[in-house]
């Protein structure tokens, strides 16, 4: 069951996770985590699996099979080149007007899970993820590519930027405790 839990956490995170963080947050010993990671690698790192476990610099991540890199890249280019969906535009707008902002804060405003949307915006290069040392989680801001795509020099050039940036209702909403969000 520990192997399954770690696999689920790595899949949901979709980025490298430090082994120490797995131990700490899952309240597991170093030995138990090591056994689970070894079992997961034995299960996944085969020619018959599209998913592999990689370990580098004391962090682990689930990735696509290296031999499938061209197929995955081709798909991601197609996915990233289409028009932005309404949920993507909403999320991008929130990040532009309220960033730097965390994923839970975005989800609090939208009321739905935004993991895949944020991933797609990162792939397209419209959003940048950085680690916030105060909040101890990633924060999101728009990228230079986003500004270039809109043809603006600064976020202050967005329509009614100051009004949305300082909107009291949104500020009050963000000061509340996070609640569970649905997937959309």
CA distance linking residue 118 with residue 91, whole number of Å: 8
Q: Which two tokens stand for residue 100?
A: 């730097």
Indicate if the pLDDT at residue 35 is higher than 90: yes
pLDDT in tens, 65-117: 878 878 877 776 665 567 888 999 999 999 999 889 999 999 998 989 998 89
With respect to residue 14, please indicate whether it lies within any of the assigned structural domains: yes
With respect to residue 75, please indicate whether it lies within any of the assigned structural domains: no
With respect to residue 74, please indicate whether it lies within any of the assigned structural domains: no
Other C-beta atoms closer than 10 Å to the C-beta of 114 total 25
Residue 34: which domain range? Answer: 2-67
With respect to residue 146, please indicate whether it lies within any of the assigned structural domains: yes
With respect to residue 39, please indicate whether it lies within any of the assigned structural domains: yes
With respect to residue 63, please indicate whether it lies within any of the assigned structural domains: yes
**Quick check: 174 and 111 in contact, CB under 8 A?**
no
> Does residue 102 share a domain with residue 170?
yes
Indicate which CATH number applies to the domain containing 103.
1.10.10.10
Which of the 8 DSSP states describes residue 154?
S
Average pLDDT, the chain: 85
The reply to whether the predicted model has a pTM over 0.85 is no
With respect to residue 114, please indicate whether it lies within any of the assigned structural domains: yes
CA distance linking residue 160 with residue 158, whole number of Å: 6
Query: 19: closest CA among 2, 3, 37, 5?
Result: 37
> Does residue 89 share a domain with residue 52?
no
């Amino acid at each position: 069951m520990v192997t399954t839990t770690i696999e689920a956490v790595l899949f949901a995170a979709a980025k490298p996770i430090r082994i120490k963080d797995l131990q700490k947050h899952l309240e597991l010993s170093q030995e138990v985590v090591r056994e689970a990671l070894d079992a997961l690698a034995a299960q996944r790192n085969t020619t018959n699996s599209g998913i592999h476990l990689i370990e580098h610099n004391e962090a682990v991540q689930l990735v696509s099979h290296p031999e499938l890199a061209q197929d995955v890249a081709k798909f991601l280019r197609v996915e990233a080149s289409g028009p932005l969906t309404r949920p993507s535009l909403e999320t991008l707008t929130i990040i532009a007007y309220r960033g730097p902002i965390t994923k839970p804060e975005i989800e609090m405003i939208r009321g739905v899970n935004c993991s895949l949307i944020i991933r797609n915006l990162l792939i397209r290069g419209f959003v940048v993820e950085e680690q916030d040392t105060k909040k101890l989680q990633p924060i999101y801001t728009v990228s230079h590519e986003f500004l270039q795509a809109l043809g603006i020099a600064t976020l202050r050039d967005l329509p009614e930027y100051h009004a949305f940036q300082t909107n009291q209702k949104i500020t009050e909403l963000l000061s509340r405790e996070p609640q569970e969000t649905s997937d959309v």
